[in-house]
Amino acid sequence: EALGADVALFNADTRPIMVKALPRYLDAVEDLDIAIAVQNHPGRALETGEDYRAVFAGVGNDPRLKGVLEVGSFHHYGWSWRQGYDLLAGRIALVHIKDMVGQQSVPFGTGEVDIPGLIEHLSAVGYRGKFVLEMSVVDKENTIQYTQEAFQYMVEHGDRFYAG
């Protein structure tokens, strides 16, 4: 909170450890003005939508626990951003945007993810939270270029994001 953080991501080595630790953690930080969120990502305790459901159920669907709409990770497992959104509706603390082809991150606007549709939907539902432009490209020497292009892509396609 003192650092100006709005969201803290909670992770654990396994889902059972996460489910056991989360209630105590949520109680300990309850007076802070920070959303506590879990995030799915390949190779972590949470990977799929089913994993999210198991963790939320495991903590009694505690409304203090939020989620990250991890567009790339959902796509990695064959879910659209819309399916991820529907799963997390009312619990989204942060949005990570990544363009993908299959399981590979690609430069923004060149993949299979409907980023303009995502932006339009988030705007339509009144999402006013933060988002992260995320990339995990193979040709890392082009990371700076891809970051600049991602930012420009979002400027060009995200003009309605905070409209109204």
- What is the mean pLDDT of the segment spanning 53-71? 98
Q: What is the pLDDT of residue 79?
A: 96
Residue 14 to residue 51: CA distance in whole angstroms: 11
72-103 pLDDT, tens per residue?
Answer: 999 999 999 999 999 999 999 999 999 999 99
Which of 2-16, 21-35, 86-100 has the lowest average pLDDT?
Answer: 2-16
Q: What is the pLDDT of residue 161?
A: 59
Residue 69 to residue 79: CA distance in whole angstroms: 12
Q: What is the pLDDT of residue 1?
A: 59
Q: What angle do CA 33, 36, 37 make, to 5 degrees?
A: 145
pLDDT higher than 80, residue 158: no
* Structural domains of the chain ordered from first start: 7-157 (3.20.20.150)
